[in-house]
Amino acid sequence: MRVFIVAGSPTGLPPAGLAPGPGDRVIAADYGAHYARAWGWPVHLLVGDLDSLPADEAATLRAEGVPAITAPQAKDETDLELALARALGDGAGEIVICAALGGRADHLLANVLLLARPELAVMKAVIADGPVTIYLLRSGRGAEEQGSRGAKKTGRRGEGETRSGGAERAHLELEGAAGDLLSLLPVGGDARGATTRGLVYPLYDETLYMGQARGVSNVFEAGTAHVWLRSGLLLVIHTQTNRGS
């Protein structure tokens, strides 16, 4: 089951080229319900303390029979985190988090780092906001296939690049267009054995060091790019540059 979670960033945009289908589920985190309705998406569940969703919109959702899980304002989790926990509890096999970028810096960083939750290591999970899609590439033998919006993570070997010292590398294949941007940012430590293909500035079994910005603003050469990783965690940020063309 694919679950779209719509958060409440003040600059939230619908994900470019992606929307829920008939078999998908949409969970709105508080003000995310406003975005979902504005984008013409259904709302199957409302989650949060409801301190930002206008009262008339909340009343409309109640009148339409949309169930709500309300939480106190004084809580340990953000509304988005509660919505994510609910999606996981409902058995989601793929999660797309929308309208989670922009606004306050602390919220933005907390939202992006949700991708590092251990429960998401075995499923497809991305943040998609307008032309930007963010993935977390995790190293490890036998990594589960994951990705969304034209990206996939596999354990395939390709041209001798996915094995080093007998360890299988994590692999992410991304579909985009020439001129799209791709940034690689290590999380929680250095990212080792980074190799790319289909980018203007390639990497060959190299280390991206925590706190350095070497991996920022690479460029798609054509419609497909590949990233391999031997060890560590790597945020992969794809920005479409031809949106609307």
Domain residue ranges of the chain, discontinuous segments joined by +: 1-130, 132-245
Tokens representing 54 are: 């206008």
Query: Which residues of the chain have a pLDDT value below 70?
Result: 140-167, 243-245
DSSP for 109-136, written as a single string = HHHHHGGG-GGGGGSEEEEEETTEEEEE
pLDDT at residue 161, as a whole number: 41
pLDDT at residue 243, as a whole number: 52
Q: In CATH, what is the architecture of 132-245? A: 3-Layer(aba) Sandwich (3.40)
pLDDT at residue 156, as a whole number: 34
pLDDT at residue 86, as a whole number: 95
- The answer to whether domain 1-130 and domain 132-245 are alike in fold is yes
Nearest to 151 by CA among 169, 166, 181, 171: 171
* Rounded Cα distance, 225 and 44, in Å: 35
- Specify the pTM: 0.87
Query: Which residues, including other chains, have CB under 8 Å from residue 64's CB and lie 6 or more apart?
Result: none
How many Cα neighbours within 13 Å face the side chain of 96?
Answer: 26
pLDDT at residue 12, as a whole number: 87
Nearest to 20 by CA among 11, 29, 9, 37: 37
Residue 243: CB atoms within 10 A of its CB come to: 14
Query: Which residues, including other chains, have CB under 8 Å from residue 40's CB and lie 6 or more apart?
Result: none
pLDDT at residue 155, as a whole number: 36
Q: Looking at domain 1-130, does it have CATH number 3.40.50.10240? A: yes
pLDDT (tens digit per residue) in 12-39: 899 998 999 999 999 999 999 999 999 9
What value, to the nearest 5°, has the Cα angle with vertex 210 and ends 209 and 214? 55
* Rounded Cα distance, 152 and 7, in Å: 24
Nearest to 79 by CA among 45, 56, 102: 45
